[in-house]
Amino acid sequence: MSPAAALAYSEKRHHVAGGQAAGMSQAQGAAMERQFEYGGYLVVASAVPNAAGGFAGQMRIADAFGEPAGPTYEAIAGDAPTQEAAVALAEATAMRAIDAGEVR
């Protein structure tokens, strides 16, 4: 999936409301996300509000070289007290999954 296609997928999925700086965006539902390429994959790390409080770190990983659309790997990385911490947790978990060969 090209970075542009992944961005469109992400915007459609999270209803991102404009304004991106340094690969981060803020969604209407107060979700924060960061997009980056790592190891030939496009990673979208998001902070999703938890009903119990805090945020869940969610990661979506897709091929960055134009393979079929949609994520090739998607998982919840864990819970964190802040959006920034949830995004950082999702980023680290995504990089570990790619390095360990868990993403195909």
Contact 35, 90 (CB under 8 A): no
pLDDT tens digit string along 53-82? 999 999 999 987 766 666 688 999 999 999
Contact 28, 87 (CB under 8 A): no
Does residue 26 lie in a domain region? yes
Per the model's pLDDT, the better-predicted residue between 16 and 61 turns out to be 61
For the cut 50, the answer to whether the pLDDT of residue 104 exceeds it is: yes
Helix, strand, or coil (residue 89): helix
Domain that holds residue 24: 3-99
Q: Count helices and strands (H / E) in the chain.
A: 2, 5
Does residue 76 lie in a domain region? yes
Does residue 23 lie in a domain region? yes
79: nearest Cα among 43, 45, 53 = 53
Task: Dihedral sign for Cα 34, 38, 102, 85, please.
Answer: negative
Instruction: With 0.75 as the threshold, say if the pTM is over it.
Output: no
For the cut 80, the answer to whether the pLDDT of residue 41 exceeds it is: yes
For the cut 80, the answer to whether the pLDDT of residue 21 exceeds it is: no
Residue type, position 83, single letter: Q
Name the domain count of the chain: 1
Does residue 73 lie in a domain region? yes
